[in-house]
Structure 1
Amino acid sequence: MDSIRITGGKRLEGKIPISGAKNSALTLLPCALLTAGKLTLGNLPRLADVDSFGHLLNELGVSTKVSGAKRGGGAKRRMTLQADEIASTVAPYDMVRKMRASILVLGPMLARMGESTVSLPGGCAIGDRPIDLHLKALEAIGAEIELAAGYVKAVAPGGRLSGGDFSFPVVSVGATENALMAAVLAKGRSELFNAAREPEIGDLCNLLVAMGARIAGIGSAHLVIDGVEGLDGCDYDVMPDRIEAGSYACAAGITGGSIELAGARPEDMLAITNGLAAAGLMIEMTGDGMRVTADKPLRPLAISTAPFPGFPTDMQAQFMAMLTVAEGQSFLEETIFENRYMHVPELRRMGAEIEVHGRSAIVKGPSRLTGAQVMATDLRASMSLILAGLAAEGETEVMRVYHLDRGYERLEDKLSAVGATIERVSAG
């Protein structure tokens, strides 16, 4: 099993290209199930999760052709998908167990084929993430749902969803995405209230519109979808990854460095940039993104995660690592998931002073971080350990980096290019 080895203490400076967004790519890929036409997605990140989703789509009858996929190259990856025929409407456990995003084939397959059977999903163990809102939203727009033997079976009576209205009791990104993809081929109008507003939802809406869908209210919490008879293929670029950009911004912060985030879209990450600025980092807009510079000691913060446009839960671990070197006491509150502090014991092994009280954490800084062998527990926790290793004295080895490979493209190459001493070590 691979690990990543870092010799810390280097100030990072230079340019990092930001890849296409993982969380968007995994939402756009299943749109191929909605049409017999060719769907080409550009700026697609080379990630384990993207590859796994591609394999799942292959099992369902979607052909995939990839170009620009060399790991060390600079060419942006493109994938052309075509589902002229759906070979199976069953997404089996062996494929779905690898990641939770697999549940996103449920809505589009149901919309096009009138039925869909999907295994209950797996993914990061960061707390209870039930899919009940996915199912309730699909029922509201005409589906009949049955749960049996670890599978969800959804059927559209008469072969096509009717459309309908649903108000989410709490904001759910995945359930909003599934409902959107199901509603675009329904007979009538669907309205989604209290829908998620994440930029990735906007990216999905924009792709669906480019394919011929009729969606109003894009970017708002009230989405109106008028179903159409069919959708066409198109050529579409995945949005830049705001979480990757925020993570590398934290790398500049924790090392006292200056990094240009080429391709980042600042308008999608205001809560992140506001947090960085409040911590004392300087944010400069560039012609192709932004530059983040730490030219003074970091200040402590009080952060509470929240649905967009609030502070993203996917950035909590990275900010926590950065705040271990801030001068003072920081307070973090995790409101989205109940088990997202699994990185704390590993950061403590490196010298961080962190106290956890339920969903709250207190970070006392500045800590003197020292290298250690640490274990990654989930995707964003893994990045927090990389960040701590960049600032630590001595050598840090991060184990179980398959978590990192799910969400960060060419991480070692990108960090090496800005001055980090980092390498991947393959197990013999």
Structure 2
Amino acid sequence: MIVEKHIVIEGNHQLNGDIKIKGAKNAVLKQMVLPLLASGKYEISNVPNITDVTYMREVLSYLGIKSSFEDSTLIIDSPEDIGIETPYELVQKMRASIVILGPLLARKGKAMIAFPGGDQLGPRPVQMHLDALEKMGANFHLEHGVLIGETDGLKGVEINLPYASVGATENTLLAAVLAEGKTVIENAAREPEIVDIVKMLKNMGAQISGEGTSEITIEGVPSLNPTNHDVVGDRVVAGTFIAAIASTNGSGSIIGINASTLPMEIKKFQEIGININIDDNSLTIESTNKYSAIELSTLPFPGVATDLQPIFGAALLKAEGTSIITENVYDQRFQWIPEVQRMGSNIQTGWQHAMIKGVKSLSGAPVNSTDIRTGASLIVAALQAEGESQITGVDHIDRGYEDIVSSLDSIGAVIEYN
């Protein structure tokens, strides 16, 4: 019998110490795609050693782009001639691969990509991406599960997104930088990862203004140049470690994170009763003896990130009172709840709401991770539970966290792979 790799945690050990985090998964995966726009050598630093980076390297390799990865630095060498097609077996691993559509159309005039896979989080509509690119002059059709896009040349237009979609903003942005004329993206996503992607694009020679606001303006340029870039710190990983430390009544610092990338999350952690001191490139956490229930709703930035909703949920399992969480972004983001209920949590759900009544204690149990953030939330729950927990579905966790087991072990967790 094949035994699946899993994480074993003995709970109820206080975590104390400092953790240095790496660059944001949701930035670097898109920055790895920028070499599609211009040939040459790129150096991207502060890159997390996560499975999704490996998957994106495989996508780039299939397109003829070589890369090497060592000591958190990614070297990418983009040739003059690149491919235009990515097969299903690569794209199904990761939905972020849809972002190659815009740059391939901009540079090559054609793209062939299987519909993306990734987490089990319900429909993540690609139609917004296609509508924006069609307005710029692309045509799409579907053949045997492969999306084929073609254009005789992209033109700058005004695009009003029906929802502040991160993916649609990115794909439009990456197509517009080489399009003819001016593109204005209205109702654009404002996430810090987009701001960081734009920073790298500007260093390549792109003409962009308004990043971080709901209106981004791009003046197309004839060509771009390779560049080097240091990836912004991962706010979701930072939030995960804040929750982990606080849930065990510990203290410590998260190094490598800019507080401006998670303003509402810091406010909500403080509402729970966690003391957070802010420095230029770090956050210091001091636990208190009493945590209180809160109300929390996920929204596009600067609201609470949907990726952190399960993490907040896990941090509130023993808080005094009843917390209400409202999920406004992804309708299947509550997959963590049946698992923590096995540990003795008291949670009721209805449509997009979860009501968490704080309990006195949790007990370790065997649980399963169905996606990256569910896995992280189960770790946070297990750290504060009595006894031992086993977490399966570890492959999901490895997609977004660089060796989370070693990081937590270094600050006092009793945790190991098995």
Are positions 1:313 and 2:316 aligned together?
no
The residue type equivalent to 2:312 in the other structure is F
Kept in 2: contact 1:61–1:85 (CA 8 A): no
The CA deviation at 1:287 is: 5.2
Partner of 1:260 in structure 2? 253
**Which of 294, 311, 314 lines up with 1:301 in the alignment?**
294
The CA deviation at 1:230 is: 0.7
**Which of 187, 191, 199 lines up with 2:184 in the alignment?**
191
Are positions 1:171 and 2:164 aligned together?
yes
- How far apart are the structure 1 equivalents of 2:201 and 2:9? 42
**Which of 91, 96, 114 lines up with 1:96 in the alignment?**
91
Partner of 1:41 in structure 2? 44
- How far apart are the structure 1 equivalents of 2:81 and 2:326? 44
Unaligned stretches of 5+ residues in structure 2 = none
Kept in 2: contact 1:352–1:367 (CA 8 A): no
Are positions 1:23 and 2:26 aligned together?
yes
- How far apart are the structure 1 equivalents of 2:252 and 2:88? 42
- How far apart are the structure 2 equivalents of 1:10 and 1:256? 9
The residue type equivalent to 2:405 in the other structure is E
Matches within 5 A, 1:261-410: 261-286=254-279, 288-410=281-403
Are positions 1:114 and 2:117 aligned together?
no
Partner of 2:11 in structure 1? 8
Look up the SS of the partner of 2:183 in the other structure.
strand
Matches within 5 A, 1:132-281: 132-157=127-152, 160-281=153-274
- How far apart are the structure 2 equivalents of 1:203 and 1:117? 27
The residue type equivalent to 2:53 in the other structure is V
- How far apart are the structure 1 equivalents of 2:156 and 2:77? 26
The CA deviation at 1:67 is: 2.1
Unaligned stretches of 5+ residues in structure 1 = 69-76
The residue type equivalent to 2:122 in the other structure is G
Greater CA deviation, 135-144 or 116-125? Answer: 135-144
- How far apart are the structure 1 equivalents of 2:375 and 2:31? 25
Look up the SS of the partner of 2:32 in the other structure.
helix
- How far apart are the structure 2 equivalents of 1:345 and 1:148? 38
Kept in 1: contact 2:298–2:327 (CA 8 A): yes
- How far apart are the structure 1 equivalents of 2:193 and 2:280? 23
The CA deviation at 1:188 is: 1.1
Look up the SS of the partner of 2:268 in the other structure.
helix
The residue type equivalent to 2:60 in the other structure is L
Partner of 1:72 in structure 2? none
The residue type equivalent to 1:232 in the other structure is N
Q: Deviations over 1:108-154 (max 9, x none)?
A: 11111111111100000111111000001111222112223212111
Look up the SS of the partner of 2:322 in the other structure.
strand
Kept in 2: contact 1:214–1:227 (CA 8 A): yes
- How far apart are the structure 2 equivalents of 1:301 and 1:287? 27
- How far apart are the structure 2 equivalents of 1:318 and 1:91? 33
Partner of 1:71 in structure 2? none
- How far apart are the structure 1 equivalents of 2:380 and 2:127? 35
The CA deviation at 1:252 is: 1.7
Greater CA deviation, 141-150 or 43-52? Answer: 141-150
| TM-score, normalization by structure 1 | 0.95
- How far apart are the structure 1 equivalents of 2:43 and 2:222? 21
Are positions 1:51 and 2:44 aligned together?
no
Kept in 1: contact 2:258–2:280 (CA 8 A): no
- How far apart are the structure 2 equivalents of 1:264 and 1:366? 32
How many residues align? The count is 415
Q: Deviations over 1:66-95 (max 9, x none)?
A: 221xxxxxxxx1111122134420111111
Distance 1:135 1:367, change over 3 A: farther
- How far apart are the structure 2 equivalents of 1:360 and 1:287? 35
- How far apart are the structure 2 equivalents of 1:338 and 1:358? 8
Kept in 2: contact 1:135–1:145 (CA 8 A): yes
Distance 1:102 1:367, change over 3 A: farther
- How far apart are the structure 2 equivalents of 1:286 and 1:107? 37
The CA deviation at 1:184 is: 0.3
Kept in 2: contact 1:30–1:105 (CA 8 A): yes
The ranges of structure 1 where at least 4 consecutive aligned residues each deviate by more than 6 angstroms after the TM superposition are none
- How far apart are the structure 1 equivalents of 2:199 and 2:289? 40
